[in-house]
Structure 1
Amino acid sequence: MLTTTKKKGLKAKKSTFRKVSEWLHLWLGLASGIIVFIVCFTGGIWVWRYEVWRYTEKHWYVEAQQKPYLAPSKLVAKSRTYFKTQHITADTLTGMKYWKPGRSVTLDFVLPEQQRAAIYMNPYTGEILKDQRGQSAADNFFIFIRAGHRFFWLPKKIGSPLVGSACIIFVITMITGLIWWYPKKWTKKAVKDSFTVKWRAKWKRLNIDIHNVVGFYAVLFVLALTLSGIFFTFDWFKKGTYKALTWKNLSAEHTDPGSDTTVRSASPLFPEDLIWNTLIRKYDGSFGSISINIPAKPSSAYETTVYFGDGTLLYNKAVNFFDQKTLQVLPPVSQHDQPYEKLSAGEKLFRMNFDIHTGQILGLPTKILAFFACMIGASMPVTGFFIWYNRKWGSKKRRIKRPEYHLNLEK
């Protein structure tokens, strides 16, 4: 006699843990997808800001010469002579920034009616290369890109926690995605499917492979960029990261040691020159950039920051303070202003966070890596959405399930 029975045990049951992981991956991914896409895409563009500025901001660069830079007082005098030709008789110097050979020097002034001017000058001749009173087109573009990356183009109080929360969700979806990706059995076919993209497959299959396989290869890099980004949104995450790395509590970001207001003797006529000469002797010309901030209050100190390398890396810096009256060197108060070489391994890693997040930690190679990680991160919500859409509403060929027949010998 022929009977019909269903074949059992063809598909192993999923564990509750796996079901929950897949559910979280799907719905959290759909909920945060648009924000993750914008954050990753804008982050990938922002990686190349210095390369764009190199071609758009020609006044940033000069021909390097084998002679010393002009002292700050000479550059200030030339700037004020220029202001007189513009019928500007009042100005306040707020800061200046020298760079390594090949870059112009910048002097920042506050002019009447709270107008600000950045004067770019040739450090060898004092020639004024540009009087910039506002943002350039490239500056405005990257300000727009950063606003999308940090705040989703919303007010900071709303956009910042929204983006930070989406990044936390993205971390969860990456972890649950790894669980979903992990093969149940490590057969030869499963290994091939898990680690190989079928580039010649139809677009639905290719879309799945890009989401699963490319996502797997990039997950560690995307995780690093995402976690380092959450750092800038939530203070609790920042303090917790510092505590985990150093076993110390995070102090205030910056503290001015202050000048001695009881000293009555006047400071030298050109204190910036003495400070500049002190820094040049101390660092023997091995710097990427040197900035000198002019104190706005009698109780504030001169603050200088020396960056090494090409001057754009923020982790390797030396902060020095000088008393307004005596120009005596004042030791840094904040742990954030301590010399890089004196930090512990955890403190060094903590200070590297921004340079890791932007991909500039090791120059061009890590910028390229960060760019591709951002673009892959941006693709994940898109490919994931199409996988979900095709499975739920995509055209499918209906398969007729045929019952299996076999002889029942018991009757």
Structure 2
Amino acid sequence: MNVIKKSLFRKRRKNESRIKYWMWLSHLYIGLLSSVIVFIMCVTGCLYSFRNQIINFSNKEKVYVEAGSGSVWKPGQIQEKLLKSGKELTRILIPVKKNESYVISYRENNIDRSGYFNPYTGEELGPPNTGSGRFFEVVLDIHRNLMMGNVGRQIVGASVLMFCFLLISGLILWLPKKLKFLKQGLSIKWNARFQRFNYDLHNTLGFYTLLVLFFIAVTGLYVTYPWVKNAIVISLGGESISNISKESGEDDPFGNLLGDMLEKQNEKKQLKDEDQVSIDKILELSHQYLPYNAVTSIEFPNKENPRYVVIKTNTENFLGMMLPDEITFDKKGNLKTKELFFDKPLNKQFTALAKPLHTGEIMGLPSIILYFIVSLIGCSLPVTGFIIWWHRYSKMKT
């Protein structure tokens, strides 16, 4: 027992600053306390990175189609075909790539279903295979709450907070005393003994991945803790949630929301007996207001929302990021709202992108690969850190 105590504590070295000394102790204690959960978070993050690609691969006979030379089925034709078989089309996703099928959502016997549709042959390709989807549901549940509900959610949140501290304290410990030692902290001595090699892996890889790991952790906390969400929104120029609830007036978001709800209710009454404009017309109008090629999602009017909702994923920017632009139309095809991503304030832009920023989907496959590599290194940090401590413990034991 004394050996364990000694391995968890050391006296301050000569010429060692108090900050670095206390950071060393805190880094050790918090690292050992949170290492298992941090490892699980990073492993599940690695697995989840390629979720869409793996699901598409497991459904490749449905996702990928042979691009025909003839005409492509229009959404209106798809809607008519589904109606004949007792299915009500509720949403359609139109890809940019010619060799990909459409994704359709519909109601059949009051049950919501989804599936793939070949736009060249008019063939319903059926729903996605559930095996890979269920696997990733389990992975996501572990990642969010260790499959322990709210208790697990709080454990994960606390561990991620500790991880943020570990990244900051690790940077402070990494900082070299003199500039001539900088190269040593930026490189790995591949031919060194195992303990030195392991130490370099922990220090150097931790430094190179620090910013991305910290960003992933913070965006994860954004979902877990309201106070983190509030802090980020305020720092980006938004209003505090508590302040919003107290304020009223022209710029009150809740007032605007209520006004929007009332307007939609009036639309339902006024346009109740009006003929609904065709989905093909809505698609044509959306191209006029958002004149660029992109993945396009169209949601049909329903009981909750009497409007067509069109979302186009705009990638026409310097980094090729997938940024959502949204427009809505009433049943007659009149434009009701138009929300361009770049017109939104910074806090609302972040809110719209919080999930793809956390998962790495924001720039497609290149950013997913980057996140996978960084998460993999994140998995190694608790392991290499534990080995550093275990070597210290073993030396004292002998």
Q: Aligned-pair distance for 1:351?
A: 3.7
Which TM-score applies when normalising by structure 2? Answer: 0.81
Q: Secondary structure at the match of 1:261?
A: helix
Match of 1:300 in 2: 306
Between the aligned partners of 1:391 and 1:243, the Cα distance in structure 2 is: 44
User: What amino acid is the match of 1:96?
Assistant: I
Match of 2:53 in 1: 51
Q: Aligned-pair distance for 1:249?
A: 4.7
> What count of residue pairs does the alignment treat as equivalent?
366
1:291 to 298, 305, 309: 298
Q: Secondary structure at the match of 1:246?
A: coil
Assess, with a 3 A threshold, how the Cα gap between structure 1 residues 314 and 295 changes in structure 2: closer, same or farther.
farther
Q: Secondary structure at the match of 2:326?
A: strand
1:170 equivalenced with 2:173 (yes/no)? no
Q: Is this contact kept in 2: 1:314–1:354, CA < 8 A?
A: no
Match of 2:103 in 1: 106
1:149 to 135, 143, 150: 143
Between the aligned partners of 1:67 and 1:330, the Cα distance in structure 2 is: 35
Q: Percent identity?
A: 26
Q: Secondary structure at the match of 1:262?
A: helix
Match of 2:234 in 1: 243
1:225 to 201, 216, 228: 216
Between the aligned partners of 2:223 and 2:240, the Cα distance in structure 1 is: 17
Larger CA Rg, structure 1 vs 2: 1
Which TM-score applies when normalising by structure 1? Answer: 0.79
Between the aligned partners of 2:210 and 2:372, the Cα distance in structure 1 is: 14
Q: Give the helix-richer structure, 1 or 2.
A: 2
Pick which of 191-200 and 35-44 moved more: 191-200
1:357 equivalenced with 2:358 (yes/no)? yes
Match of 1:276 in 2: 283
Q: Aligned-pair distance for 1:56?
A: 1.5
Q: Secondary structure at the match of 2:236?
A: helix
2:119 to 120, 123, 135: 123
Between the aligned partners of 1:80 and 1:328, the Cα distance in structure 2 is: 25
Q: Secondary structure at the match of 1:76?
A: helix
Residues 28-43 of structure 1 aligned to structure 2 (within 5 Å): 28-43=30-45
What are the superposed Cα offsets for residues 327-370 of structure 1, whole Å, 9 maximum, x if unpaired?
322126xxxxx311313456545544333322233333322221
Q: Secondary structure at the match of 1:331?
A: strand
Between the aligned partners of 1:203 and 1:235, the Cα distance in structure 2 is: 43
What are the superposed Cα offsets for residues 275-298 of structure 1, whole Å, 9 maximum, x if unpaired?
22322443346122223243124x
Q: Is this contact kept in 2: 1:230–1:237, CA < 8 A?
A: yes
Which structure 2 residue ranges, 5 or more long, are not aligned?
1-11, 242-252
Residues 304-383 of structure 1 aligned to structure 2 (within 5 Å): 304-309=310-315, 316-324=323-331, 326-331=332-337, 338-344=339-345, 347-349=348-350, 351-383=352-384
Q: Aligned-pair distance for 1:148?
A: 2.0
Between the aligned partners of 1:317 and 1:278, the Cα distance in structure 2 is: 17
Q: Aligned-pair distance for 1:270?
A: 5.5
What are the superposed Cα offsets for residues 96-152 of structure 1, whole Å, 9 maximum, x if unpaired?
22222332122212333x5442131112332112245xx522212222222222222
Match of 1:408 in 2: none
